């Protein structure tokens, strides 16, 4: 009897109980007996994460995405994805009795008549803005520090795809309430699809299920927005993080930090505490914004109707550069052979973003080819060490910022009492000049920074000393001991107890321990 029991229990079970970790340890032991989580779990808990603050920018994106999922699920309980017309009756008088789509009516209802509905809607929208913003900032950090270099090109590609999907899904979600402002956005999107030469018309009819606006877009956008794209994003986020764990995090060079090690805090307990706190920080900031700052008040816009339009309509910020490009592009088009190619739409809204994202995808390969650097890099660059790359990045950001500003030409003209036409022409000049001005300035600043002694080190005070002769002399104090180069003495990481592999029973057959 005891032999049979001994054969079916593990060493740890025989040692008895949960050991010094009490009931929790017991639970974990039970799990380990069945799933063998100890070995992988040990590796995972010992995972080292470098501590630099800029490495947490990606976490903002991750956690705002979590907030998006949770608030989004809440919204689906009340939102009705339908273009069917109903008469709205509710507490907001200016809409009472208007004929609106079910999509619009349900969004207004969930804002006014569902407990916490407006809070959830606003948190969802703020989380979206912060999500896309964090993706951009995180991407900039990765770009300027060279973290995309070999072996992490694949993760860079996944990241660019995530940004594209996030922008697309943001636009779809912005369109779902079917209000006056978002309807105008869909109309622009329809025209952009139409402008693609040869296939544009077919493609537009395929996407919209007929002519604009039709009744198919709301349910189609809905299923794309709440299921298909989020699933793809979720999968890619998983792959992104899995690659991060597999390839280990990059680190800035510093004392004791080499290409072949990772210096930082272990997953448990330091990083876990930090990142959990940060999760609460991100969701807290989003909740505060959702509670105190109004976003997208669709009841003030009213329902969409193709015969109505509001002036001064801008998209959410992440589409701003496209809107700006459309606004300032001269009205060139080709007409002939029974076809019209509206270059004024095709170039700024199809070709330009295509080139932009194409460049982003191709950048790691381009840089490898130009520099001839095929080595594996785990240590990051300071931006000033790579003046050309940094200058290209800043030039691209300058161009995008100029285009973003160009999306509010009317607001600028109105605010500064200028002629709209003057502002338009000024923005054309500024957009074209911005990268060419930004590049040399950035390059020069980087070159100058390279020559600065002690850049990136903490400043130490100067002591002003009066000598016996009455002369005053400023003497620099010695550097902080932590800033002086020295080897780290890491605490020893506990090693696994390795048991010798049993001998094979026969040649070619390998026995693997469970």
- Cis before 289? omega within 30: no
Q: Are 44 and 272 in contact (CB under 8 A)?
A: no
- If binding is defined by CB under 8 A, does position 220 make contact with another protein? no
Residue whose CB is less far from another protein, 278 or 443: 278
- If binding is defined by CB under 8 A, does position 43 make contact with another protein? no
Burial of 408-427, coded b for 16+ CB within 10 Å and e otherwise, reads: bbbebbeeeeeeeeebbebb
CB of 403 to another protein, least distance (A): 14
- If binding is defined by CB under 8 A, does position 144 make contact with another protein? no
- If binding is defined by CB under 8 A, does position 116 make contact with another protein? no
Which one of the spans 149-157, 223-231, 300-308, 337-345 is the region binding another protein (CB under 8 A)?
A: 300-308
Burial of 317 (0-12, 13-18, 19+ CB in 10 A): middle
Q: Which of 26, 82, 83, 98 binds another protein (CB under 8 A)?
A: 98
Q: Which of 18, 25, 41, 133 binds another protein (CB under 8 A)?
A: 133
- If binding is defined by CB under 8 A, does position 331 make contact with another protein? no
Residues 274-293 that bind another protein (CB under 8 A): 274, 277-278, 281-282, 285-286, 289, 291-293
- If binding is defined by CB under 8 A, does position 297 make contact with another protein? yes
Which one of the spans 19-27, 76-84, 95-103, 382-390 is the region binding another protein (CB under 8 A)?
A: 95-103
Cα dihedral value 87, 88, 89, 90, nearest 10: 180
- If binding is defined by CB under 8 A, does position 112 make contact with another protein? yes
Residues 397-436 that bind another protein (CB under 8 A): 408, 410-411, 413-414, 417-421, 423
CB of 513 to another protein, least distance (A): 40
- If binding is defined by CB under 8 A, does position 316 make contact with another protein? yes
Dist. CA 121–CA 290, nearest whole Å: 8
Which one of the spans 78-86, 215-223, 294-302, 381-389 is the region binding another protein (CB under 8 A)?
A: 294-302
Q: Which of 24, 93, 505, 506 binds another protein (CB under 8 A)?
A: 93
- If binding is defined by CB under 8 A, does position 452 make contact with another protein? no
Q: How many CB atoms are located within 10 Å of the residue 484 CB?
A: 10
- If binding is defined by CB under 8 A, does position 354 make contact with another protein? no
Here's the x/- map for another protein, 361-390, by CB under 8 A: it reads as ------------------------------
Q: What distance separates the 2 farthest-apart alpha carbons in the chain?
A: 97
Q: Are 322 and 203 in contact (CB under 8 A)?
A: no
DSSP 115: T
User: What are 276's two structure tokens?
Assistant: 């959990």
- If binding is defined by CB under 8 A, does position 266 make contact with another protein? no
Q: Are 34 and 42 in contact (CB under 8 A)?
A: no
Burial of 9 (0-12, 13-18, 19+ CB in 10 A): exposed
Q: Are 298 and 177 in contact (CB under 8 A)?
A: yes
Residue 491 three-state SS? coil
Residue whose CB is less far from another protein, 165 or 413: 413
H-type alpha helices, 77-116: 102-112
CB of 305 to another protein, least distance (A): 7
Dist. CA 386–CA 363, nearest whole Å: 14
Residues 160-199 that bind another protein (CB under 8 A): 180-181
> With contacts defined by CB under 8 A, how many residues of the chain interact with another protein?
76
- If binding is defined by CB under 8 A, does position 94 make contact with another protein? yes
């Amino acid at each position: 009897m005891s032999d049979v029991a001994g054969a079916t229990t593990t060493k740890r079970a025989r040692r008895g109980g949960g050991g010094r970790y009490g009931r929790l340890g017991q639970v974990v032991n039970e799990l380990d007996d069945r799933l063998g989580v100890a070995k992988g779990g040990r590796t995972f808990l010992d995972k080292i994460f470098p501590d630099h603050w800029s490495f947490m920018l990606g976490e903002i994106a991750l956690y705002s995405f979590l907030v998006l999922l949770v608030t989004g699920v809440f919204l689906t309980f009340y939102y009705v994805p339908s273009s069917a017309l109903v008469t709205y009756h509710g507490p907001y008088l200016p809409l009472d009795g208007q004929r609106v789509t079910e999509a619009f009516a349900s969004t207004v209802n969930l804002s006014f008549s569902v407990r916490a509905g407006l809070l959830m809607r606003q948190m969802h929208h703020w989380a979206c803005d912060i999500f896309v913003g964090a993706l951009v900032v995180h991407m900039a950090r990765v770009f300027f520090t060279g973290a995309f270099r070999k072996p992490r090109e694949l993760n860079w590609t996944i990241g660019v795809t995530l940004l594209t999907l996030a922008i697309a899904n943001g636009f779809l979600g912005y369109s779902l309430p079917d209000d006056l402002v978002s309807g105008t956005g869909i109309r622009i999107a329809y025209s952009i699809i139409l402008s693609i030469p040869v296939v544009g018309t077919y493609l537009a009819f395929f996407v919209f299920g007929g002519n604009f606006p039709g009744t198919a877009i709301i349910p189609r956008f809905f299923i794309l927005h709440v299921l298909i794209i989020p699933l793809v994003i979720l999968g890619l986020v998983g792959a992104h993080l899995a690659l991060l764990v597999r390839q280990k995090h990059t680190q800035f060079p510093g004392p004791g930090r080499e290409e072949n090690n990772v210096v930082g805090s272990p997953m448990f307990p330091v990083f876990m505490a930090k990142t959990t706190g940060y999760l609460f920080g991100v969701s807290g900031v989003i909740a505060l914004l959702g509670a105190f700052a109004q976003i997208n008040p669709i009841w003030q816009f009213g329902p969409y109707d193709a015969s109505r339009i509001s002036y001064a309509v801008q998209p959410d910020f992440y589409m701003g550069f496209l809107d700006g490009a459309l606004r300032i592009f001269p009205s060139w088009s080709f007409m002939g052979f029974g076809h019209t190619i509206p270059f004024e739409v095709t170039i700024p809204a199809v070709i330009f973003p295509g080139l932009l994202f194409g460049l982003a995808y191709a950048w790691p390969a381009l840089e490898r080819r130009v520099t001839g650097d095929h080595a594996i890099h785990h240590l990051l660059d300071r931006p000033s060490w790579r003046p050309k790359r940094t200058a290209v990045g800043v030039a691209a950001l300058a161009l995008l910022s100029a285009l973003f500003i160009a999306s509010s030409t009317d607001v600028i003209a109105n605010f500064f009492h200028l002629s709209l036409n003057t502002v338009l022409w000024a923005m054309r000049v500024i957009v074209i000049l911005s990268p060419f001005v930004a590049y040399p300035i950035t390059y020069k600043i980087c070159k100058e920074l390279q020559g600065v002694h002690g850049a990136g080190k903490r400043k130490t005070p100067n002591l002003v000393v009066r000598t016996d002769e009455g002369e005053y002399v400023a003497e620099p104090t010695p550097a902080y001991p932590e800033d002086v180069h020295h080897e780290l003495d890491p605490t020893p990481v506990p090693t696994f107890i390795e048991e010798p592999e049993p001998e094979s029973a026969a040649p070619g057959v390998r026995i693997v321990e469970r």
